Amino acid sequence: MKFEEVIGHIELLDSGLKNEANKAVNRLLTLRNWLIGFYIVEYEQKGEDRAAYGKKVLENISKKIDKPGFSVRNLKLFRQFYESYPSIGQSVSAQLQQTEFSIGQVVPAQFDKLLSEQSKAPIYAEVEEKTVNQLSFSHITLLLRINDPIKRAFYAVEAIRGIWSTHELKRQIAALLYERSGMSQSPEKLLETVHRNTLPSVDDRPVIKDLYALEFLGLPQQAAVEESDLETALIDHLQEFIRELGHGFCFEARQKRILIGDEYFFIDLVFYHRILKCHILIELKVEEFSHANAGQLNTYLNYYKKEVQEATDNPPVGILLVTDKNEALVEYATAGMDDQLFVRKYMLQLPTTKKLEDFVRQELKNI
């Protein structure tokens, strides 16, 4: 055997088994979430003491379990998952029996009877079976937003066929692929073109990056944030640069996860300034300035103003650093700052535009 053949076999083995591990984690996570939904629905309908807990069953479950992944929002998703995909019960039962985990520990005796009472058109049952076996739960959360079962099945089939990431599935839903297919004289050609333009690239990223999988396995959520090496290096150094400035900066979080509506976002760096008494949100983009960048930062500022800011706090301040690798642009943003005295005060406490631009340019040269 030649050296290059050894390398080829090792790389193939590594990528193949990583892929299988990823599938196994996603499949078990999906089965768990469906069963949790089953329990919630059964309790809400037939729980012996459900009246004692009133309408706040999910809040009480979340507080009692008190673990990552069991937020009220997630519990609602699990319940919706069970109600939207009732026909996969037999698959859940069969797949759990293949594990070392005893199905009798989690599935009540009446489970099989309940399954036999469920009816679903065969085409949907087949699609749902493939959905839970081949798509991650993050894919499924996107599909759950679609009320029309035909439309939901369409996107599930195309996502499986195209091996779409969650980002690509979301993009195609937003681009109204289903509606355009219905309007097209040749939907087959349209879908062929779409799949040709969305061919998956070789994925050599860490195996588990899905937020739900991270919660399921108890891993740090930062692992789910995808950054280029350049962005990562810049944020590493920017974090230290801001800390060294002193002047009241208190580091709070990196890649701070926030939930807006039913979607997660990540803020690159979050500081609290004890002199200004406000949060400082910093976003770094390795690209030219765009209004989308400014709009995104403004969204984060408005979120902090509404959800995080205390009564004694001043409005949050945002710093946007944008570079096209030749020039650096720094934009300060404020959320509803009408007090000009405060605006002048924060400009004295925060690093100047020139200082930040010099930092970005120097870091780019060093990297």
What is the arithmetic mean of pLDDT over 219-246?
72
Distance, in Å, from the CA atom of 173 to the CA atom of 181, rounded to the nearest integer, reads: 12
Is a pLDDT exceeding 50 seen at residue 326? yes
Q: Mean pLDDT across the stretch 87-102?
A: 67
**Residue 266: how many CB atoms within 10 A of its CB?**
18
User: What are the φ/ψ torsions at residue 261 (nearest 5 degrees)?
Assistant: 65, -120
**Percentage of the residues of the chain whose pLDDT score is greater than 90:** 12
Q: How confident is the model at residue 116 (pLDDT cuts 50, 70, 90)?
A: low
Q: Are 320 and 297 in contact (CB under 8 A)?
A: yes
Instruction: Report the mean per-residue pLDDT for the chain.
Output: 79
Report in angstroms the alpha-carbon separations of 329 from 19, 193, 238, 358: 40, 38, 15, 10
Residues near 4 by beta carbon (within 8 Å), at least 6 away in sequence: none
CA distance 34 to 260: 24
pLDDT band at 113 (very low <50, low <70, confident <90, very high): low
Residue entry with tokens 């690509």: 168
Question: Which is more confident, 78 or 204?
Answer: 78
Whether 311 shows a pLDDT value over 80: the answer reads: yes
State the helix-helix crossing angle for 89-97 and 3-46, rounded to 10 degrees.
120
| pLDDT, tens only, 245-294 | 777 889 998 888 888 887 888 999 999 998 889 999 999 887 778 888 88
Q: What's residue 68's pLDDT? A: 80
Domain boundaries, the chain: 3-211, 227-366
In terms of pLDDT, which residue wins out, 305 or 222? Answer: 305
119 contacts 152 by C-beta, under 8 angstroms: no
Q: How confident is the model at residue 69 (pLDDT cuts 50, 70, 90)?
A: confident
Say which residues have a Cβ less than 8 Å from residue 94's Cβ, sequence separation at least 6: none
Helix, strand or coil for residue 150? helix
Q: Quick one: which of 209, 225, 257 has its CA closest to 73?
A: 257
Chain-centroid distance, C-alpha 193: 28
Q: Say which CATH topology domain 227-366 has.
A: Trna Endonuclease; Chain: A, domain 1 (3.40.1350)
pLDDT score of 164 more than 60: yes
Which range (39-53, 252-266, 280-294, 328-342) has the least confidence? 328-342
